[in-house]
Structure 1
Amino acid sequence: MYRTHNCGELCKKDVGKEVILSGWIQKKRNLGSLCFIDIRDYFGVTQLIFSKKKLIDKNFLLGKEFLIKIKGKVVERSSVNSIIPTGEIEILVKEIEILNSSPITPFTIENKTDGNEEIRMIYRYLDIRRNPIKKNLISRHNISLETRNFLSKNGFLEVETPILINHTPEGARSFVVPSRIHMGKFYALAQSPQLFKQLLMIGGIDKYFQITKCFRDEDARSNRQIEFSQIDCEMAFVDVNDVLIFFESFIKHLFKKIKNIQLKPFPCISYSNAMKMYGTDSPDTRFDMLFVELNNLVQKENISFLKEQELVIGIKIPKCHNYHDKMNYLKKKIKNKNIFWIQYSYDETSFSSNSYFMNKKMIKIFIKYFKAVPGDLLFISYGKKKKSRKQLGKIRLEIADYLNLKNPNVFNPLWVIDLPLLKWNKESKKYKSMHHPFTSPKEEDIHFLEKNPENIRSKSYDLIINGTEIGSGSIRIHNKNIQNLIFKYLGLSEKEIESKFGFFIKALEYGTPPHGGIALGLDRLINMIEGGDDIKNFIAFPKNNYGKDLMIKAPSTLEKKQLKELHFR
């Protein structure tokens, strides 16, 4: 028997019991003839006490992270440790056995470790022993379990779909797997179960879900991995509102159950309005600073230089105290961009601007228009519409970071709807899908296909929380003719359509129901709920930002024999 109890459960009511514990040595302290050890397992920490003579007699040399088994008696501690659940007791050790030794660890196994990310990724199994990582994995389990329970109780059926599939020309870059049996042919690792979940709807499954692995050969970052997990869902006989209402209730349930946070109703904002007001399709609404369009003002006031610009927009930062220090920081961020700022000093008479063409009269025009008061700071962006909004959107976020406006304890979810169906790709000189080619266009916009395809809105929706895209979905095309039409506008020939999607076009002929769904990034969702800053901390064995697993040294080369089997010379 390795243990009668774990290291996190013994308390005052257990005093007098004979127990057996097993665990790793976290701390060791010598006080005169006595030795104190903190022993740790998955469940917690318990303090041990025994005489040094016991170690000398058995010729024991104990070090940190040695795995030991002890037998002893639970006694009351003279000095209570209120930080840990076992802090009222300790174990008077009678017998001790080393189950396994350990070399000196490459970093300290403590809540606040001295190990950098690279060394912790190389020794990830040691990193998992630390409470922060262990708690993150427990949280992941709880959220996954709650997801399965909630969806199952609401009539969703969990179905596994294939990982090895055909490469499709849409979406991100795929990972490909050469076939040994079929010379010169390749599988692709699934970027999502998109077509399969639609086929399940055609197959009569009413509601489907899956917590699934997906793979995309793209650059990793703090909120993106090349191998990631998503909560994938699809529903038959639904429209946009049905999906938004249900998954709003799902997200609210998770936040309430996991963190006891009651979220407010999720507002909806169109893609076009998000871009106009925030300069991004993933707006962070924890703070204001909405864009104000100024073209009419500059025309009316005859501000010559700005009159020539396609767009002039601005934001106001109220009561920007100590703005001189802040401006030194922000000036570096806006260098060589079509952006200028105006400071309204606290003495109510002093103004300043970094723009060469702005005089005091012009500055006062902007001050009055924005209804600025002393201490306010204005930023004005001008130029081409897309670029101007994008630049000011970045400045807005930089300001929010610098002024600590992103309250980590506030969660502002919203739906961004009516995203464009298509976007023009300059490199390939053809249209690409904003989401994917199976997204349904809005019926009233289909006529734009003839002349202005970029004006077609889709029946799509993105779930944004605090400026991060957590999920994305749409109502799907369920009509064969419309699907073929979209494929053709994406530049696919009839031969390509048949080769890549022939099976799916055929399936659409057999009474396909209206259907739609959503995919929620599980890693991002957990990171958001737990207030993390990197999804790697919530994945047991993540890749680094270069797509490498530093522990197992993947990716790696293959031997010549293996390459030959795969028909590579």
Structure 2
Amino acid sequence: MLEHLGDFKRTHYCGEISTADVGKKVRVAGWVDTTRDHGGVVFTDLRDRTGIVQVVFTPDISEELVEKAKKLKHEFVIAVEGTVRRRPPGTENPKLKTGEVEIYAEKLKILNKSLPLPFLIEDDIKVGEDVRLKYRFLDLRRNKMMENIIFRHKLYQTVRRVFNEEGFIEIETPYLTKSTPEGARDFLVPSRIYPGKFYALPQSPQLFKQILMVAGFDKYYQIARCFRDEDLRADRQPEFTQIDFEMSFVSERDVMDVAEKVIRTVYKELLGVEIGEIPVMTYDEAMKRFGTDRPDTRFGLELKEITDVAKTCGFKVFRTVVENGGIVKAINFKGGAKLSRKEIDDLTKFVGIYGAKGLAWIKVTTNGLQSPIVKFFTEGEMNEILKRLEAEVGDILFFVADKPDVVNAALSNLRLKLGRMAGLIDDSKINVLWVVDFPMFEWNEEENRWEALHHPFTSPKEEDVEKLLEDPASVRARAYDMVLNGVEIGGGSIRIHREDIQEKVFKVIGLSDEEAKERFGFLLEALKFGAPPHGGMAFGLDRLCAIMRGEESIRDVIAFPKTQRGQCLLTGAPDTVRPEQLEELHISVEVEEEE
């Protein structure tokens, strides 16, 4: 029979009971983790968010209490009153914070029961993520998940303290705003009051935080919710959280210094890890050495370009690629000559995922060079390749020839795969770096136009402003990304604060004056009224939290995440709504029937 809590007042959390409480009468409450009947004495592990404490029900205190305790099952909710005692010598449990003590129960209240569980409340469960997400209220009871969410709370508080100490002002920006498509699709919210019109959920607070700078709040920050209706991946969610900040009258270094203080403080205070000097690498150097603008610098296997050698060699595949404006790059996989042909074929299929049409290779062995392509190179050409790649006996050299973006994507991902295969990546290392001097624009072949590499409010380098309209490809942005172990955890830029430059950028990306006014008119208007030079940055809080907790998926550091298909299995969202709700919004829905 279930009981009421009544006047029961909890005095301690389970995980806080210690030897300092020996002899005290305490009251605890929580969930039954396990129950064991040892010859009439019942031992129950009681759990709350702070940990577990052992409760003992003995017949010398109450036979009736023992019989009641025997009825306890997994995840029953109970309240216990009893006296704290030391555990008998030899029965201590060093795995528990409370392992030296136990509570001898004098009162027991069974507050609620539980159905049989779809999975056990323990860390190493073997159950699909869909089941975990459906029963998220159970999944979050697991110690690992509980610690993840509490860690996230501590991350919030630490971040806020850093910004407060630096004189920033926390300001909320709207969730219901104007649709200003900047890459991803907006989530749209129909207006009941204005039929046929829609709000949009913000992809970021970008425009509002710039307007706050125009308004004179020279240091703003916000832990901001953002929304993007995009195709999802393991590290993406339709709703996510940014650590967002903006500053006026600053250079790139000013913004980067604040970001460095944030990352150093959270690592030191939450993990006890000191982050030293953070190096700066240009975009061009990152692409040249690693094939990506978010390089993992914990290991070598750097890319080497051999385009100059390939353009005159006898290997037609390489030569043709170069003649058509492509490049040839290579990786030296040290000690990899032992790879089998099947393993090489598997790696060839792997780079094909990134658009590479093939993967050429050369093994360096004690019997010479082994490869189907060696015969197409002169001795001088081959010696130059071996020298450039620092090849030694036992190595295997991998080559990709194609357009620069394909070569870099294929080899940068091959580099990571080989690094993991060879155990070259030290997961205990924390390598942080800045990548700067990004191109301002990238060419969209499908739409035959330039588009902003970051976003169209990023300022060009001052010395490149005059080249905006005549040579967009050469314009560099005042942008900066922070990369941690090969993952971009934050990015930002100095913004455009002059209307004339902003209008030029809109022209480069193909926006007419009318389109620019329609989409961003309120920002352009604000720039006319004394906008100060300003810049800022945003950290991806979900990704940062996942990295710090050693989790592969950001879903494990979000209390109620969506699946990769954007569904909430707990609530059933998205779902249909009542016809009268749609009628109020002046919306009709047409659903195509499946064939």
TM over 0.5: yes
Instruction: Map Cα deviations across residues 524-544 of structure 1 (whole Å, 9 max, x no partner).
Output: 111122222111111111111
3-state SS of the aligned residue for 2:15?
Answer: coil
- Do the aligned residues in 2 keep the contact of 1:351 with 1:363 (CA within 8 Å)? no
Q: Please, which of 185, 192, 199 is the counterpart of residue 204 of structure 2?
A: 192
Instruction: Map Cα deviations across residues 177-211 of structure 1 (whole Å, 9 max, x no partner).
Output: 00000010000000011111111111111110000
Q: Please, which of 185, 200, 204 is the counterpart of residue 216 of structure 2?
A: 204
- Do the aligned residues in 1 keep the contact of 2:459 with 2:494 (CA within 8 Å)? yes
1:175 counterpart residue number: 187
Q: 1:356 to 1:558 in 2, by over 3 A?
A: farther
What code does the residue aligned with 2:370 have? S
1:353 aligns with 2:353: no
- Do the aligned residues in 1 keep the contact of 2:434 with 2:483 (CA within 8 Å)? yes
1:441 aligns with 2:491: no
- Do the aligned residues in 2 keep the contact of 1:4 with 1:20 (CA within 8 Å)? yes
1:128 aligns with 2:140: yes
What code does the residue aligned with 2:12 have? H
1:339 aligns with 2:359: yes
Q: 1:96 to 1:280 in 2, by over 3 A?
A: same
CA distance in 1, matches of 2:313, 2:507: 48
CA distance in 1, matches of 2:544, 2:388: 40
**Which has the larger displacement, 266-275 or 125-134?**
266-275
CA distance in 2, matches of 1:470, 1:493: 34
Per the TM alignment, residue 413 of structure 1 is displaced from its structure 2 partner at its CA by 1.2
What code does the residue aligned with 1:436 have? H
Per the TM alignment, residue 134 of structure 1 is displaced from its structure 2 partner at its CA by 0.7
1:66 counterpart residue number: 76
Instruction: Map Cα deviations across residues 69-98 of structure 1 (whole Å, 9 max, x no partner).
Output: 122222221200011111111122222220
Percent of paired sites with the same residue: 41
1:526 counterpart residue number: 545
Per the TM alignment, residue 300 of structure 1 is displaced from its structure 2 partner at its CA by 6.7
Q: Please, which of 43, 49, 52 is the counterpart of residue 42 of structure 1?
A: 49
CA distance in 2, matches of 1:228, 1:370: 42
1:85 counterpart residue number: 97
**TM-score, scaled to structure 2:** 0.91
**Which has the larger displacement, 178-187 or 482-491?**
482-491
Unaligned runs of 5+ in 2: 1-7, 589-595
Q: 1:478 to 1:359 in 2, by over 3 A?
A: closer
Per the TM alignment, residue 175 of structure 1 is displaced from its structure 2 partner at its CA by 0.3
- Do the aligned residues in 1 keep the contact of 2:337 with 2:364 (CA within 8 Å)? no
2:334 counterpart residue number: 318
1:282 aligns with 2:289: no
Q: 1:100 to 1:157 in 2, by over 3 A?
A: same
- Do the aligned residues in 2 keep the contact of 1:220 with 1:546 (CA within 8 Å)? yes
Q: 1:218 to 1:143 in 2, by over 3 A?
A: same
Q: Please, which of 531, 548, 553 is the counterpart of residue 512 of structure 1?
A: 531
Per the TM alignment, residue 57 of structure 1 is displaced from its structure 2 partner at its CA by 5.1
**Which has the larger displacement, 352-361 or 443-452?**
352-361
Q: 1:535 to 1:397 in 2, by over 3 A?
A: same
2:307 counterpart residue number: 295
Q: 1:498 to 1:333 in 2, by over 3 A?
A: closer
3-state SS of the aligned residue for 2:321?
Answer: coil
Per the TM alignment, residue 114 of structure 1 is displaced from its structure 2 partner at its CA by 2.9
Q: 1:504 to 1:370 in 2, by over 3 A?
A: closer
Per the TM alignment, residue 277 of structure 1 is displaced from its structure 2 partner at its CA by 1.7
- Do the aligned residues in 1 keep the contact of 2:58 with 2:104 (CA within 8 Å)? no
CA distance in 2, matches of 1:42, 1:108: 16
What code does the residue aligned with 1:417 have? V
- Do the aligned residues in 2 keep the contact of 1:2 with 1:69 (CA within 8 Å)? no
2:15 counterpart residue number: 8
3-state SS of the aligned residue for 1:366?
Answer: helix
2:116 counterpart residue number: 104
- Do the aligned residues in 2 keep the contact of 1:108 with 1:115 (CA within 8 Å)? no
3-state SS of the aligned residue for 2:16?
Answer: coil
Per the TM alignment, residue 322 of structure 1 is displaced from its structure 2 partner at its CA by 4.6
Per the TM alignment, residue 367 of structure 1 is displaced from its structure 2 partner at its CA by 3.1
**Which has the larger displacement, 521-530 or 555-564?**
521-530
1:483 counterpart residue number: 502
- Do the aligned residues in 2 keep the contact of 1:408 with 1:531 (CA within 8 Å)? no
> How many residues are matched?
567
**TM-score, scaled to structure 1:** 0.95
CA distance in 2, matches of 1:371, 1:70: 70
**Which has the larger displacement, 449-458 or 405-414?**
449-458
Unaligned runs of 5+ in 1: none
2:3 counterpart residue number: none
3-state SS of the aligned residue for 1:330?
Answer: helix
Per the TM alignment, residue 11 of structure 1 is displaced from its structure 2 partner at its CA by 2.0
What code does the residue aligned with 1:248 have? E
1:20 counterpart residue number: 27
1:424 counterpart residue number: 443
2:578 counterpart residue number: 559
CA distance in 2, matches of 1:503, 1:5: 55
Per the TM alignment, residue 490 of structure 1 is displaced from its structure 2 partner at its CA by 2.0
- Do the aligned residues in 1 keep the contact of 2:40 with 2:66 (CA within 8 Å)? no
Per the TM alignment, residue 288 of structure 1 is displaced from its structure 2 partner at its CA by 1.3
CA distance in 2, matches of 1:108, 1:535: 22
1:537 counterpart residue number: 556
CA distance in 1, matches of 2:221, 2:132: 34
